[in-house]
Amino acid sequence: MPVPGPGYSITIRVEAPPSASVAGDLTSAVGRVGGVITAFDVVDSHSDSVVIDITCNALSADHARDITEALRGLPDVEVRKVSDRTFLVHLGGKIEVNAKIALRNRDDLSRAYTPGVARICQAIAENPDDARRLTIKRNTVAVVTDGSAVLGLGNIGPAAALPVMEGKAALFKKFAGVDAWPVCLDTQDTEEIIRAVELIACVYGGINLEDIAAPRCFEIERRLREKLDIPVFHDDQHGTAIVVVGALRNALRVVNKPMTDAKIVVCGVGAAGSAIIRLLLQRSPADIIAVDVDGIVHRDRGDTDANLQWVAANTNRENRTGRLHDALVGADVFIGVSAPNLFGADQVATMASDAIVFALANPDPEIDPLEAQKHAAVVATGRSDYPNQINNVLAFPGVFRGLLDAQARGITDAMLLAAADAIADVVDGERLNASFIVPSVFDAAVAPAVAEAVRKAAGGH
Ligand SMILES: NC(=O)c1ccc[n+]([C@@H]2O[C@H](COP(=O)([O-])OP(=O)(O)OC[C@H]3O[C@@H](n4cnc5c(N)ncnc54)[C@H](O)[C@@H]3O)[C@@H](O)[C@H]2O)c1
């Protein structure tokens, strides 16, 4: 069941009589409608009234309104102002550019800017590789989106996608010291996106594609990888695949099954599912059955989409047909990156013993994790309010740190697998159990471990 969280946190300023019972009356009113108080501050006091800031977590915007109304309904209480703390965090944006050099006097200016900078420009003109040595390129990543598949919100466009891309840039900096910058393109035309990225690529050491809808994302990534001499990484595909493969390695250790014996159902063959299937195949599982909205993907289904054709040709050894429930029978592992509430405990009971269930559809998973736990040995979700959160933050900062440090010109499956193993290895044997198959996103060991693994796989030292 969802619990009130900081994503819907509000501060309500109220003026109330200075009675002995005022604190109890206010906190009880919030509690009665299910709000969770996180701070209670008296900010002003008069002989006949007190002004109090009540900060609390709610479930949703509607729930926040219910809490406010509950306070407004108390006798002699006036609600002066309601601040949404999430909106406050976003005022003016979340990132900025800082100068790394001092500009105190004319000498500083002459070196950092004209005339001195001209010699640096000439050096790069003579030797373009010097851009990595003498400019921001060596540490800078473009976070490129067209706003077509933003979180679970769908096609909301490039401007509305910007808060997500800013957040991503902030995470890059916080977890791996990478300078990332949002590039939200006001086009959803494949050719225009490719051309736009091509035109700006000289500034960057890597391109992180983000929230671009399938199947367009596959072609954009493939063609940019062919054209550019810097790594191009679609996080919704490969970030997810890395964390899933790492988490699955540990989950299989918990239930003591080798990957080569594992029969795996992957539900969802879009951006995330396709990348998971491709990376998992490198680990040679016994079989993968892919399922999408039309049922099990098999060779006689007549799919015209190139991605689905590839999946059909490389999975489902027995060419099984049917729906998700059929695919689950006898499976060791379920990985869902599809849609909410597709099955229940009864279907998990039909899976092999010690089943592993990764239900990653956001915000509502393919199966309620509490239902899954009735028969599964290990359960993971994409949510932060359950154990085993499969979160791309475990992967992308370290991946790009490693790529930039190696001055990589491309990205390979070997690098992605190295990142997956690095994440898995952060959970040592002492800590590994059914509720702890991946490290916390705040584990400071993760990004450096991933970076080192990727740097080595990229041939860096
Ligand atoms: N770390 C994570 O937890 C994580 C990472 C990536 C994606 N996701 C989640 O996975 C889901 C899919 O993401 P995506 O970017 O790949 O989306 P997508 O739109 O590219 O693909 C969705 C896929 O799900 C399939 N699908 C839809 N309804 C279905 C149904 N009823 N039964 C079976 N299959 C169905 C579609 O056919 C398609 O193959 C989203 O909910 C997303 O939030 C979670």
Q: What is the pLDDT of residue 1?
A: 64
Question: What is the gyration radius of the CA atoms in the chain, in angstroms?
Answer: 26
Instruction: Kindly state if the Cβ of 384 falls inside 6 Å of ligand 1.
Output: no
Say how many Å lie between the CA of residue 126 and the centre of ligand 1. Answer: 47
CA-CA distance, 201 to 183, in Å (whole number)? 11
Instruction: Kindly state if the Cβ of 338 falls inside 6 Å of ligand 1.
Output: yes
* Partners of residue 207 on adjacent β-strands: 142, 232
CA-CA distance, 178 to 172, in Å (whole number)? 5
Instruction: Kindly state if the Cβ of 269 falls inside 6 Å of ligand 1.
Output: yes
Q: What is the pLDDT of residue 88?
A: 94
* Chain centre to alpha carbon of residue 81: 33
Paired tokens of 266: 């992957």
Pocket test for ligand 1, best of 315, 337, 423 (most atoms within 8 A of CB): 337
* Per-residue tens of pLDDT for the chain, all 461 residues: 678 888 899 999 999 999 999 999 999 999 999 999 999 999 999 999 999 999 999 999 999 999 999 999 999 999 999 999 899 999 999 999 999 999 999 999 999 999 999 999 999 999 999 999 999 999 999 999 999 999 989 999 999 999 999 999 999 999 999 999 999 999 999 999 999 999 999 999 999 999 999 999 999 999 999 999 999 999 999 999 999 999 999 999 999 999 999 999 999 999 999 999 999 999 999 999 999 999 999 999 999 999 999 999 999 999 999 999 999 999 999 999 999 999 999 999 999 999 999 999 998 999 999 999 999 999 999 998 899 999 999 999 999 999 999 999 999 999 999 999 999 999 998 999 999 999 999 999 999 999 999 999 998 65
Widest pairwise Cα distance in the chain = 81
Backbone angles phi, psi at 287, to 5 degrees: -165, 155
Instruction: Kindly state if the Cβ of 266 falls inside 6 Å of ligand 1.
Output: no
Residues 6+ apart with CB under 8 A from 16: 22, 25, 26, 49, 50, 52, 74, 76, 77, 78
DSSP E strand boundaries for 382-444: none
> Do the beta carbons of residue 26 and residue 85 sit within 8 Å?
no
Say how many Å lie between the CA of residue 357 and the centre of ligand 1. Answer: 15
Determine the Cα angle at 221 with ends 216 and 224, to 5°.
120
Q: What is the pLDDT of residue 461?
A: 59
> Do the beta carbons of residue 344 and residue 328 sit within 8 Å?
no
Type of residue numbered 208: N
| Closest to 236 in 3D by CA, of 273, 185, 183 | 273
Say how many Å lie between the CA of residue 267 and the centre of ligand 1. Answer: 8
Q: What is the pLDDT of residue 329?
A: 98
Q: Whose CA is nearest to atom 41 of ligand 1?
A: 361
Pocket test for ligand 1, best of 360, 364, 391, 438 (most atoms within 8 A of CB): 360
| Closest to 422 in 3D by CA, of 221, 177, 176, 225 | 176
Catalytic residue among 113, 173, 174, 374: 113
CA-CA distance, 363 to 360, in Å (whole number)? 8
* 287-292/263-267 β-pairing: parallel
> Do the beta carbons of residue 264 and residue 335 sit within 8 Å?
yes
| Closest to 181 in 3D by CA, of 199, 206, 156 | 206
Exposed/middle/buried for 284, CB within 10 Å: 0-12, 13-18, 19+?
A: exposed
* 263-267/232-234 β-pairing: unpaired
Q: How far apart are the first and last CA of the chain?
A: 47
CA-CA distance, 78 to 51, in Å (whole number)? 9
Backbone angles phi, psi at 277, to 5 degrees: -60, -45
Give me the half-sphere count of Cα atoms (radius 13 Å) on the Cβ side of residue 106: 0
Say how many Å lie between the CA of residue 92 and the centre of ligand 1. Answer: 32
- Is-catalytic flag, 113? yes
Say how many Å lie between the CA of residue 338 and the centre of ligand 1. Answer: 3
Instruction: Kindly state if the Cβ of 268 falls inside 6 Å of ligand 1.
Output: yes
- Is-catalytic flag, 263? no
As separate numbers, helices (DSSP H) first and strands (DSSP E) second, the chain gives 18, 14
Say how many Å lie between the CA of residue 273 and the centre of ligand 1. Answer: 7
CA-CA distance, 79 to 26, in Å (whole number)? 11
> Do the beta carbons of residue 332 and residue 262 sit within 8 Å?
yes
| Closest to 321 in 3D by CA, of 296, 302, 300 | 296
Type of residue numbered 181: W
Q: What is the pLDDT of residue 323?
A: 98
Q: Whose CA is nearest to atom 19 of ligand 1?
A: 270
Instruction: Kindly state if the Cβ of 342 falls inside 6 Å of ligand 1.
Output: yes
CA-CA distance, 32 to 24, in Å (whole number)? 12
**What's the pTM?**
0.94
Q: Whose CA is nearest to atom 30 of ligand 1?
A: 293
Q: What is the pLDDT of residue 375?
A: 97
- b/e per residue 11-27 (b: at least 16 CB within 10 A): bbbbbbeeeeebeebbe
DSSP E strand boundaries for 111-170: 140-145
Paired tokens of 38: 């996180």
Give me the half-sphere count of Cα atoms (radius 13 Å) on the Cβ side of residue 41: 10
Return the SS3 of 259. helix
